[in-house]
A = this chain, B = another copy of it.
Amino acid sequence: MNQNVLIILASGSPRRKELLQQAGLEFEVVVSDVKEKITKTKPEDVVIELSEQKCRAVTDEFIRKTPKNIFDLIEKESGKIMIIGADTVVSMDNKILGKPEDSKEALRMLMSLSGRSHEVYTGVTCKVLQYNSFTEGLIETDSFSFYSETLVNMYPFNEYEALDYISTGEPMDKAGSYGIQGIGERLVQSINGDYNNVVGFPLSKFMKELSKREYVSYGDGSSM
């Protein structure tokens, strides 16, 4: 695989970082303070909106003040930089479940998920920057957003199982109070859709987008 763009992941999530590594992509992590502002109501619109805000914050920083070391990593005249923002929410009965405030709220959330199905949405926004010799700085040359939806079917479980799970500490920084890639997987019976989307990043859809737009390309395997 040839990667024709320098990727900047605008997310501090260790799970998103692991997923990009798993795909064999080279990237840097740059996180910026964002004031998240939700104006939409539908979960697919909310995750696109929030991913756009996260991407925008880092993109604006790059445009305002190009990091000095960037041109050690890419060709100044021809290189491209792609900044990625992502946001994941859990949705049930038209209500969005975020991260729990405390173990009481985690228990309430988990019991509402028990024995039922819910949706997980992740929105992704990518903005591509390139050096412009006229402005002597970076300008935006491409921007696209997409989302992925996965249905998650939970096993029925009781308060003991939920409390036992909460006592591991895992639910506290997770939308919907569970992590499918951790101990929380024991609550999940099956999914319909993309697994990595539930983890926090729809990796295979992202790879398709990169390939379609020629930000990655595939050889003939002759390096075998």
**B204 and A166 within 8 A (CB):** no
Q: Once the chains are docked, how many angstroms separate the CA of A205 from the CA of B128? A: 43
Within 8 A of B (CB), among A54-111: 103
**B193 and A193 within 8 A (CB):** no
Tally A residues with Cβ within 8 Å of B: 45
Q: Does A15 contact B (CB under 8 A)?
A: no
Within 8 A of B (CB), among A155-199: 155, 159-164, 166-168, 180-183, 185-196
Q: Does A22 contact B (CB under 8 A)?
A: yes
Given contacts A224-B103, A224-B167, contact A23 B204 (CB under 8 A): no
* Contacts A/B (CB < 8 Å), 12 sampled: A22-B183, A22-B185, A23-B186, A150-B190, A161-B218, A162-B221, A163-B219, A163-B220, A167-B224, A180-B195, A185-B204, A191-B192
Q: Which A residues have a C-beta under 8 Å from some C-beta of B?
A: 1, 22-24, 103, 150, 155, 159-164, 166-168, 180-183, 185-196, 203-205, 207-208, 211, 218-224
